[in-house]
Amino acid sequence: GENIEWFDQGDLLEVSALDSEKRLAVYRNISDLQLVGLTAAIEATECEGDRLGCGAYVTGAVVVVQHGGTKTLLGPGDVLERPNFRVRVGRAERVLAGREACDAGYQTPSASADLLIAHE
């Protein structure tokens, strides 16, 4: 029964406990992220991928998380746990070739990921 507040800013959904420092942030479609003491960027990992039904070509990627001078590579499903936060990677991909017929995010070359960050 904690009291919470939440806000939604498009590609960021954040839920915070009112009576503690606990916070959960869900980031969608980020290409890089800079928070106090934590940065994340997308890095390509492979050239082999999949051609989507709309014609775009997508490959895998990893999220490079830097915290306290340490760099950690996280793929989809991976978790980085530290005493005051936890990062989990959802989707991480690179669009090598986009097509106008595709949904937003798959129309032009790009790299993006979905992250969940829990602050304790």
pLDDT tens digits along 75-113: 999 999 999 999 999 999 999 999 999 999 999 999 999
State the pLDDT at residue 98: 96
Q: What is the CA radius of gyration of the chain?
A: 16
Q: How far are the Cα atoms of 19, 93, 96, 114 from residue 101, in angstroms, in the given order?
A: 47, 19, 15, 23
- Which residues fall within 8 angstroms of residue 65, CB to CB, at 6 or more apart? 38, 39, 40, 71, 72, 73, 74, 80, 87
Please determine, for residue 2, whether its predicted confidence score (pLDDT) is greater than 80: no
> In terms of pLDDT, which residue wins out, 114 or 37?
114
Angle at CA 9, nearest 5°, toward 7 and 11?
120
State the pLDDT at residue 1: 55
Report CA torsion sign: 63, 67, 72, 76. negative
- pLDDT per residue over 14-39, tens digit each? 999 988 889 999 999 999 999 988 99
- pLDDT per residue over 43-62, tens digit each? 988 889 999 999 999 999 99
State the pLDDT at residue 37: 86
Identify the bridge partners of residue 16 per DSSP, sorted by sequence position: 5, 23
Rounded Cα gap, residues 86 and 67, in angstroms? 12
